[in-house]
Amino acid sequence: MHPHPWISSCLALTALACACERDSASNPRREPEPPAVSEPTAGEPLRTESHLFREMAPGVYFATGSGAVTVESNSLVVVNADHVVIVDSHVTPDAARALISSVEALTDRPVRYLVNTHHHFDHTHGNAALPPGVVVIGHEATRERMMGDVFAEPVYDELAGVEAAQSMVRATESLLARAADAESKAALEIELAALRRHVEAVREFEIRPPDVTLQRRLTLHSGHREIQLLFLGRGHTGGDVVAYLPAEKIVFSGDLLQPMAPYMGDSYPDEWIATLAALEQLDFQWVLPGHGEPFSGLAEIERFKRFLRGFQAEVRALRESGHSAGEAAARMELRGWEAYASWMLALPTVMELQVRRLYDLEDEG
């Protein structure tokens, strides 16, 4: 789970409030040639009403929301010789339906597989919208968590329930009423329409866990295309899976690695660092994260490992000083990491869930 996109919106909207006060033409049955590793395909992303598709390699698309529909996570779309593979289904069935409909702008080939990188709602709650016959794949730990009462998890109520969505609608309505210029008003109107739609979308309570699970590795083959689904170790959750395309040198990392601080309330910070070290051993050129923009190289991995160490050190120091988890959460400063983790500092309840997680792990020894 990311620094929730609503959180990012909250921070952006707060800044705005302050300012107010002052066709794929290929044969669908033709076998693709072995892909060449290169820079992402030149030109503007393909745009649908709900999504943007950036072609990172032939037939490999990084899918993000356009703003018209609340999607809350990125997806990977891979167009193979006779079918499509999607990685992560967004936050609601409504968002997933919009994604599947948008894929029709890329190809007429059917979606055959959907991979969940982990169990968090912003990556899995779209599963219920998948057409019959689509196989959902995920780690054993992901299925186990999704078989439980996911709607009862504290972080869901805090970030993703109906009340949270309604709160964002009210905040956006207030900002729209105070917006001073046409550009700000237009942006807020788009945001408001998407949030109102989302209020209804989150009422569709249905969970579809993975049909097929893996422990360490599962590989999907289609002609020259190979998609390796790898569990490199625990990190963001107990069942993080990355989708690795070795020929294209692309990794879709979910929330295991992204260019900002992710939610840590289900994490294994010590193991996470080792898992990232295993990720570094893959031969990749591009990392496509579950949130944020694609990046290349190892610098982002090293930065995140430093953040994990710093977060743990601050929590441990507060614990050793005798503070309860609640007290420690209120005292967290993340000095030097404020921009990287601004959403954490803005949400005391979520910060406490993260700090409490580290306390519990320390108690377990």
| CATH at 127 | 3.60.15.10
Instruction: List C-alpha distances in Å: 70 to 76, 93, 174.
Output: 17, 11, 19
**359 domain-assigned:** no
pLDDT at 325: 96
**293 domain-assigned:** yes
Higher-pLDDT residue of 186 and 16 is: 186
Name the 3-class secondary structure at 354: helix
pLDDT at 190: 81
Asked if 253 contacts 287 with a C-beta cutoff of 8 angstroms, the reply is yes
Burial status of residue 182 (CB atoms within 10 A of its CB: 0-12, 13-18, 19 or more): exposed
**191 domain-assigned:** no
**13 domain-assigned:** yes
CA dist 4 and 205 (Å) reads 19
pLDDT at 197: 80
Residue 262 identity: P
Residue 363 tokens read as 């108690």
> What average pLDDT does this structure show over 324-334?
96
Instruction: List C-alpha distances in Å: 1 to 65, 159, 176, 360.
Output: 16, 10, 28, 19
Contacts of 84 (CB under 8 A, 6+ apart): 77, 78, 103, 106, 107, 109, 110, 111, 112
Average pLDDT, the chain: 86
* Count of Cβ atoms closer than 10 Å to residue 241 Cβ: 31
> What average pLDDT does this structure show over 323-345?
94
**133 domain-assigned:** yes
Residue 4 identity: H
**221 domain-assigned:** yes
Of all residues in the chain, the percent with pLDDT exceeding 70 is: 86
The total domain count for the chain is 1
Sole residue written with tokens 């993000």: 64
pLDDT at 95: 95
Band (161; pLDDT cuts 50, 70, 90): low
Instruction: List C-alpha distances in Å: 51 to 15, 23, 61, 97, 129.
Output: 25, 15, 11, 11, 17
> What average pLDDT does this structure show over 310-339?
96
Asked if 343 contacts 351 with a C-beta cutoff of 8 angstroms, the reply is no
User: DSSP of 291-314, one letter per residue?
Assistant: SS--B-SSHHHHHHHHHHHHHHHH
Q: Tell me: the pLDDT tens digits for 245-274?
A: 999 999 999 999 999 999 999 999 999 999
Higher-pLDDT residue of 3 and 26 is: 3
Domain that holds residue 147: 5-22+34-152+205-256+282-297
pLDDT tops 80 at residue 19 = no
pTM greater than 0.75 (yes/no): yes
**89 domain-assigned:** yes
Residue 325 tokens read as 């988890």
Q: Tell me: the pLDDT tens digits for 132-145?
A: 899 999 999 999 99
CA atoms within 13 A on the CB side of 42: 0
pLDDT tops 70 at residue 333 = yes
**265 domain-assigned:** no
Band (30; pLDDT cuts 50, 70, 90): very low
Smallest Cα–Cα separation from 243: which of 112, 75, 93?
Answer: 75
Element (H, E) at 353: helix 348-364
Band (174; pLDDT cuts 50, 70, 90): confident
pLDDT at 198: 78
Q: Tell me: the pLDDT tens digits for 204-259?
A: 878 999 999 999 999 999 999 999 999 999 999 999 999 999 999 999 999 999 99
Higher-pLDDT residue of 37 and 334 is: 334
CA dist 189 and 182 (Å) reads 10
